[in-house]
Structure 1
Amino acid sequence: MAEHHPHAAFPSRPSSSHLHQQGNPFSRPQTPHVGLQIGFCGLGAMGYFMARNLANRHIAHPHSATPLLVWNRSVEKSEKLLKELGDNKVKIAGSIEEIARECDMIFTNLANDTVVKDVYVQFAKALEDSGSLKPKIFVETSTIYPTLAGELDTLISAHHGRLVMAPVFGAPPVADAGKLLVVMAGDYRSKKEVAHVLIPSVGRSVIDLGGNLEKASTFKLIGNSMILGSIEILAEAFTLGERTGINASLVQTLVKELLPAPIIVGYGEKILHDAFDGTNGFAIDGGIKDATHIRRLSTETNVPMPSLDTAHQHLITARAIHAAQSLRGEHSYDTLDWSSLVAGTRVAAGLDPFDSAKHDRVVPVNED
């Protein structure tokens, strides 16, 4: 596992009141970053809001007057952000290499491991070609397999870069509100600098996983296993209710009474109302990617996770049904949210996969 050792001992722990107010376990850096140039790569469903909030915070900071430098594979997203915020807050980079050369702190939020690796290879090549000895901090916020963190660290550290792994918890609306939960691992001084850029503009709080870079990605997969397992349980419970003649709204009432965690209630609402639009949630391809990572990790560590195996199967079923509907022009959404995994449970029970209004015509099993 890739390990970064702190350059200095941990300072005294902040008071509990400070932690409660700031959500940040790191003391403030002693020297403010005058003229710090921040870059952001990847303006997808999450990255767009993260970059926007960073740009708004960064330009308002008394020691930071440089616009956020952004890059996205399709320039339209960059142009949209520029139009929204203006050129005093955002500047569009012409290439990934420009981000690596010009920026002091670079954030990435990308779709999958392959894309992440490719971008960091380009970062490393740009640093090598520039010959710059100036240290830079690279902050990877995507959900990736833990061992990839070590590969990224090798690429960056060879050219005086420092890597911080900082995956985030929260759907796009949470990112929009700047309330993400940030999980962080890496060099201590680098984490401190990054944390005070992210909090409170992008995230509500930070969980520090120490110096081992792989721990942050592992922790993110553990968290996503809880979320995905909860969605699977909800899907099964709602489907059982439908087949036994209990209205889905009553099942959701029970969810609110017994399991009143906001994320569980929220996914219950999605299933109740067939709100499976992936552009307003977590797209199903990302869910399948994460489920695959979790299952791989559980296999390598001999930890059985049968609920995740079932959830993974139901995600694939939902995506396959949606693909078939799309070919016929019958789909309701261009991209599915991962809560649509309920389709796997529904079709197995003889129900419509995505339209619960049709369930009203189902005769409850105890009345056959």
Structure 2
Amino acid sequence: MPFSRPQTPHKELKLGYCGLGAMGYIMARNLATRLSHPTVQHPIVVYNRTRARAEKLAKEVGESEIKIANSPEELAIECDIIFTNLADDEVVKMFFEKFASALKDSQNTKNKIFVDMSTVYPSLAGELDNLISSIPHAHLVMAPVFGAPTVAETAQLIVVMAGDYRSKKEVAHLLVPAVGRKVIDLGGNLEKAPTFKLIGNSLLLGSLEVLAESFTLAEKSGIQASQVQNLVKDIMPAPVFENYGNKMVHDLFDGTKGFAIDGGIKDSAHIRKLATDVNCPMPALDVAHQHLITARAVHASKRARGHAVHEILDWSSLVAGARVAAGLDGFDSNKHSKVELDS
């Protein structure tokens, strides 16, 4: 934790959470159930465009811990600190425009901290800052996180923060340890946090591509991918290699239990744009992006014929792109030729 504890405010803080997708649902739940902080007022106020998700969360943790807002405007007016975790840049901007408009119309005089935890292109942080800084007493913190939903379940996420120092200090001590295990502070430039997030995701996506290509080469050469995965565990025992390698080897591509492929393609597009903007070639990421698109295209074709196993793909399914390029079945490794062991 790079921040000392903030001074106790004179009043209790009311927290709001907007966006209850795969990650947002878990983080909002953790704030409601794990956060024991003398300055935080319960229940936590939540808003989601699909109200059923908010109702599910309220039923799971209880109405004493979760209150459902009827609109994003209500959330912004009622709460002191508003967290957002949304699908893409367009949606993030739309919600922040609603927040800003509501606060201006209400002639807000309360201190507000907005904390965006989405994965967005860095320049959007500047646009959001223009919206929020036009509101008296309002501040913006960019705070994307590293970790899959399974990591969020155990409140072990890594939080990357940039923005106003006092606001970061306040927010950091709410998120750790209720949501994450560590905060990385990148200073006052808001664009640094989403930039760092994209760089981190490039490491993850590059790792997936290396695994996908190696497993595909093995199966084309008559070696079981599971044998290569055992080698990975021996010489590169890192969680990202073990977890995603296991998904690829066993065709575990259910996007409802991992990072959905649409989010992966959005992130890879952002990474490639950032690399283009700063003149930094990343050929491995170019290939990974194409393999993600191939996997999604093949899956869409299977869905249209009623043959798809999963409704949503996990981004580890990019191995399907490598497999198809090599003449193998994209999603069913049982159809691949297996090595015959000597007796």
SS at match of 1:311: helix
Which residues of structure 1 form unaligned runs of 5+? Answer: 1-23, 364-368
1:103 aligns with 79
Contact 2:158 2:180 in 1 (8 A): yes
2:33 to 35, 47, 56: 56
**Would you say the 8 A contact 2:248–2:319 is kept in 1?**
yes
Contact 2:162 2:186 in 1 (8 A): yes
> d(CA) in 1 for partners of 2:321 and 2:61?
42
Distance 1:65 1:255 in 2: 47
CA spacing shift, 1:33–1:55, aligned 2, 3 Å? farther
Identity %: 66
Could you say which residue in structure 2 is the equivalent of 1:135? Answer: 111
Provide the C-alpha distance between the structure 2 equivalents of 1:65 and 1:165, rounded to a whole number of angstroms.
23
Matched, 1:190 2:167: yes
The partner residue of 1:167 within 109, 128, 144 is 144
TM-score normalised to the size of structure 2?
A: 0.97
Shift of 1:65: 3.3
1:331 to 308, 327, 337: 308
How far residue 53 of structure 1 moved from its aligned partner, in angstroms, is 0.2
CA contact (8 A) 1:145 1:217 kept: yes
How far apart, in 2, do the equivalents of 1:209 and 1:289 lie?
A: 23
Distance 2:40 2:301 in 1: 50
Which amino acid is the alignment partner of residue 299 of structure 2? H
TM-score with structure 1 setting the length: 0.90
Distance 1:125 1:143 in 2: 23
CA distance in 2, matches of 1:67, 1:261: 38
Q: Distance in 1 between matches of 2:149 and 2:34?
A: 18
5 Å-filtered alignment, 1:155-234, equals 155-160=131-136, 161-234=138-211
What amino acid sits opposite 1:104 in the alignment? D
State the alpha-carbon separation in 2 of the partners of residues 172 and 251 from structure 1. Answer: 26
Task: Report how many residues are paired.
Answer: 340
Using the TM superposition, give the Cα deviation of residue 259 of structure 1 relative to its aligned residue in structure 2, in angstroms.
1.3
Question: Any idea what SS the aligned residue of 2:42 has?
Answer: coil
Contact 2:15 2:41 in 1 (8 A): no
Please give the secondary structure, in 2, of the residue aligned with 1:291: helix
SS at match of 1:341: helix
Give unmatched runs, 5+ long, in structure 2: none
Residue number in structure 2 paired with 1:8: none
Q: C-alpha distance in 2, partners of 1:33/1:336?
A: 48
Equivalent position of 2:65 in the other structure = 89
SS in 2 for 1:185: strand
> After superposition, where does 1:175-324 map in structure 2 within 5 Å?
175-324=152-301
**Conserved? CA contact 2:223–2:339, under 8 Å:** no
Which residue does 1:146 correspond to in 2?
122
User: Which stretch shifts more, 195-204 or 30-39?
Assistant: 30-39
Partner of 2:45: 69
